[in-house]
Amino acid sequence: MSWVDRGRDAGRFLKDIEVKDLQEQLDAVRDYLRDLTASFSKIANRQRGHARGRAVDTVQEAEEMMKENLAASLVVALGVGVLVGYLIRRGTE
């Protein structure tokens, strides 16, 4: 075997090592991204649950306040209705 053949063989060996190393690094990055995505998904679902719970609580509180202050709620609703009607009428003229 000549020096040229040995050089080619060494070059192929180095290319194989580089390709294997690159594949291992890509596998590691893929695994890291999969774990990161799973963690993000868990956190997002948990936060969504908390937000939904807070929204339900807020709606229930608002509903209770409206029931307790029925007269004031009706006056506010009437006022908003008149205001919206006025704005719509003004916009069509």
Cβ atoms of residues 73 and 66 within 8 Å: yes
Let me know if residue 47 belongs to a domain.
Answer: yes
Cβ atoms of residues 85 and 78 within 8 Å: no
Count of domains forming the chain: 1
**pTM of this structure:** 0.44
pLDDT at 23 over 90: no
C-alpha 16/C-alpha 65 separation (Å) is: 73
CA distances from 60 to 19, 30, 38, 52, 54 (A): 61, 45, 33, 12, 10
Let me know if residue 51 belongs to a domain.
Answer: yes
Which domain does 9 fall in, by range? Answer: 3-68
**What digits encode the pLDDT tens for the residues 47-61?**
998 999 999 999 999
DSSP structure class, residue 69 = T
Let me know if residue 23 belongs to a domain.
Answer: yes
Q: Among 42-51, 61-70, 75-84, which is the least confidently predicted range?
A: 61-70
